[in-house]
Structure 1
């Protein structure tokens, strides 16, 4: 497991200053006269990007800072979110407008999955949500490159215990192969959506290769070797978006699953590739693994907050109460009582005809109107000079490749050995 405390101390000047102050106090130094940073250094720290992508747009940086500050609030500190089934107006109506009809509130965040059927015409619903003050989170549910004929459903493997292929075959600098071509095509489609949203001024909270510490997806942990190269593939996605496509309207979200197969941080790409750590969790009582005695040797909450990154529930919902009987208030109750660092919850749309969406759960009115919960009308991260219904449109290389960098240029991270 990555030793996150060391990375945090290295990357955050505030932590370094605090440590220096403590050291000075222990050594009897008169701290009142100490100046830790000169005027130029202080100005540099105040303007230095806090995002994983050093070239992230001002809006992306402002949004991340807002998430970092949410746990310090007395109220309005947890973003509400709902995944829709596909990027279409019909899906938006079914999951979002139905919730509004019942509660009078739009969720602050809408989540989508990039699938093969997506077209650019669909994204207008996301752009509209953004311009009305909302947030966007996105994941990719990619076809298995070794089983492309089965489409998006092949993301799940038939036998989680079976040996998985080497993900390094898919990297930008790997030899050409049918599998690599399938993967790069899916990656390009995701990049197209990120680009279109960026041209509209939107920031995307991107969750690539979610639940990689689990064994149920083709990119997940190989149970025979207890490893996968998901870390390398995540970094490859990062470099494709930020360097090859030169898109900088992204917050990078590492989203592990519950640690049934491997600890949450098993495949953490490193702090320089991650803005937020947002695990998925499905449990009727919204307890993460590690809370119930004997359930897991890991403590998922303790692990994710050790990164020092803003945290949230990247996906959540009930585990057995899948008929609409789940008490939606459980989400905010558990955050208040057990997981106060959580900055958002993002409820899944459901699967196999199960009821999971907020619009059909019990007591959702109380959840959406809880003083801690941020709905779309309460999102307040935007700089005061920017109207809530619009954002500064990125220009030049912030949203598309520059003339000196072809779209298909290969920019490569270091590969784990």
Structure 2
């Protein structure tokens, strides 16, 4: 082989690699805004630097505080914000002023703008009420078939989608730039607790609902700043994970949710056993997820996780970090810090100042693998 031939083949290989990367980095929306395309590309490449850390409702409230500008339980502990901020729009379908957790939608909109301005990422879930019974998302009265085209509640669902679209369309900067968001509807689809769960609708009904929703928001409402996140709960194998996958043209990110549980006042031995079981489950699921991610050229994420009230003060470095550190996932998000709930029970998933796992969380922060806002802000994810 001549040097000229070798050089030609090298250039050809590099060109093909570049072309493949460009193909990989395209969201399903062919009209996606340039900021959305840039974010999607960076969700692919950020895994080379580490895993972004996320927290639900981080700016809105924390343990023993609410609506204090600039405050965050995460920031109180590590002097840095999460890289990913989760929000929920449950209640928007009824045109309410506040979501299901009593956070005003006007505030959520402002938080989303603030996060974008700092270079962070916003992800939105939707715990929508049951459209047939009008109970909450956890009311499992059968409803999916009713809201599909030609169903009895289809027009109601269209109204609800219009209200969702109205909120999403309002997510703009003062200069009129649409803020990209990761939209995660109908999540934990293989669970039984939501009315869209697998025991309450057929595979075909779920896929039809997903595809209709994406088509409506993208093509009917002309929203081109959404990145669509397909999400299951923990699963036993790849077949279960992909059973209701809507197809590569209808999902941008693949993800799942999984939480650790233990009995109240569990002993150290019981907590250790729980942690080992959780790690094994998490690793098994991440192995499947990242294999699917690579094959389908979709970024992967651990969209929800956590251990309520963090009874294990080394959970961050001894349980979560060892389980996720070797997997190419774009982000991991822990659930919200509500504080004392109506059942007189502490409900939080990130440490707050003085909480037992706070020092361990600082070690987790300093691991060099976890990415928070100071680091991701430098990456210019939207360019």
Cα separation, partners in 2 of 1:219 and 1:95, compared to 1, 3 Å: farther
Mapping for residues 170-249 of structure 1, pairs under 5 Å: 170-171=147-148, 173-175=149-151, 177=152, 179-198=153-172, 199-222=176-199, 227=203, 229-249=205-225
- Tell me what 1:121 maps to: 106
Give per-residue Cα distances to partners, 1:33-59, cap 9 Å, x unaligned. Answer: 669989x99998776661111111111
- The 3-state SS of whatever aligns with 1:313 is strand
| Native 8 Å contact 1:134 1:376 kept in 2 | yes
Supply the distance in 2 between the matched residues of 1:87 and 1:236 (Cα, whole angstroms). 32
Distance 1:96 1:254 in 2: 31
What is the aligned counterpart of 2:145 among 168, 193, 196? 168
Q: 1:62 to 1:42 in 2, by over 3 A?
A: same
When the two structures are superposed, what TM-score results if normalisation uses the length of structure 1? 0.68
Tell me the residue number matched to 1:55. Answer: 31
Q: Distance in 1 between matches of 2:324 and 2:18?
A: 36
Q: Output one character per residue of 1:311-333: Cα deviation in whole Å (capped at 9) or x when no partner.
A: 111001026x6557462233223
- For the Cα contact (< 8 Å) 1:220–1:228, is it kept in 2? no
The one of 291, 307, 310 equivalent to 1:318 is: 307
8 Å Cα contact 1:78-1:344 kept in structure 2: yes
TM superposition shift of 1:70 = 2.4
- Aligned pair partner of 1:82 in 51, 55, 80: 55
Contact 2:57 2:85 in 1 (8 A): yes
Q: 1:259-270, aligned counterparts within 5 Å? A: 259=235, 263-270=240-247
The offset of 1:145, in angstroms, is: 1.0
Q: Report deviation, 1:128.
A: 1.1
Distance 1:354 1:264 in 2: 32
Residue 226 of structure 2 is aligned to residue 250 of structure 1: yes
Report what 1:289 is aligned to. Answer: 281
1:273 matched to 2:250: yes
SS of the equivalent of 2:171 reads helix
Cα–Cα, structure 1 residues 383 and 335, in superposed 2: closer, same or farther, change >3 Å? closer
Name which of structure 1's ranges 209-218 and 79-88 shifts more when overlaid on structure 2. Answer: 79-88
Q: C-alpha displacement at 1:383, in angstroms?
A: 6.7
2: CA distance between counterparts of 1:325 and 1:288? Answer: 20
CA RMSD in angstroms comes to: 3.6
From 76, 79, 83, the equivalent of 1:101 is 76
Q: Partners of 2:379 and 2:132 in 1: how far apart?
A: 42
Do the aligned residues in 1 keep the contact of 2:33 with 2:224 (CA within 8 Å)?
A: yes
Cα offset for 1:375? 1.0
Pairwise CA distance, 1:267: 1.0
Contact kept? 2:181, 2:226, Cα under 8 Å: yes
| Greater shift in the superposed pair: 134-143 or 367-376 | 367-376
5+ residue gaps in structure 1?
A: 1-29, 159-163, 292-298, 387-417
Q: What is the number of residues matched between the two proteins?
A: 330
What secondary structure is seen at the aligned counterpart in 1 of 2:240?
coil
Following superposition, the deviation at residue 245 of structure 1 comes to 1.0
Task: Output aligned runs, 1:403-414, within 5 Å.
Answer: none
TM-score, normalisation: structure 2: 0.74
Identify if the C-alpha distance between structure 1 residues 43 and 100 changes in structure 2 by more than 3 Å, giving closer, same or farther: closer
| Structure 2 counterparts to residues 59-78 of structure 1, below 5 A | 59-73=35-49, 77-78=50-51
Partners of 1:36 and 1:109 in 2: CA distance:
37
Q: Secondary structure at the match of 2:32?
A: coil
1:335 partnered with 2:335: no
Contact 1:99–1:358 under 8 Å retained in 2 = yes
Cα distance, 1:325–1:67 mapped onto 2, change above 3 Å: same
Q: 1-side partners of 2:8 and 2:205: how far apart? A: 50
Query: In the alignment, does 2:329 pair up with 1:346?
Result: no
User: Judging changes above 3 Å, is the alpha-carbon distance between structure 1 residues 315 and 326 closer, same or farther for their aligned structure 2 residues?
Assistant: farther
The gaps in structure 2 that reach 5 residues or longer are 92-97, 261-273
Distance 1:273 1:91, change over 3 A: farther
Q: Distance in 2 between matches of 1:102 and 1:350?
A: 13
